[in-house]
Amino acid sequence: MMPRAYAAVSTFVLALALTVVPALAFQPPTGQEQFVPAKNLPQAEQMPAGPLLLAAYAFIWVAVAFYVWTLWRRLDKVEQDMRALAQKTSHR
């Protein structure tokens, strides 16, 4: 009975060590002490917001235009199929 209890305890200790130790090792870094305005940041750390915003809007509008174009093409194909079916059924 003793080896079985020893195996259970050692398995529990191993599982505990594998879950707790990594969690303790990866603590978040300490943050800055106070607020730093964006205008006071070094030039290398500033991001230009205008071009990124325009690029995002352009991407969205291109994606919407492409989606509407594909819907239009598919709807045109369905209308052609319906006309062909109507012609086939009207001849009978």
- What dihedral angle (degrees, nearest 10) is formed by the CA atoms of 17, 20, 23, 27? -100
pLDDT of residue 42: 73
- The domain limits of the chain are 2-25+49-90
- Convert the pLDDT of each residue in 49-82 to its tens digit: 888 899 999 999 999 999 999 999 999 999 999 9
Range with lowest mean pLDDT among 1-5, 21-25, 84-88: 1-5
pLDDT of residue 1: 46
pTM as predicted: 0.47
Q: How many CA atoms lie within 13 A of 18 on its CB side?
A: 6
Cα–Cα distance between 59 and 63 in angstroms, integer?
A: 6
- Convert the pLDDT of each residue in 19-37 to its tens digit: 877 777 776 767 667 777 7
The answer to whether 38 and 46 are in contact (CB under 8 A) is yes
Alpha helices in the chain (DSSP H): 2-25, 49-90
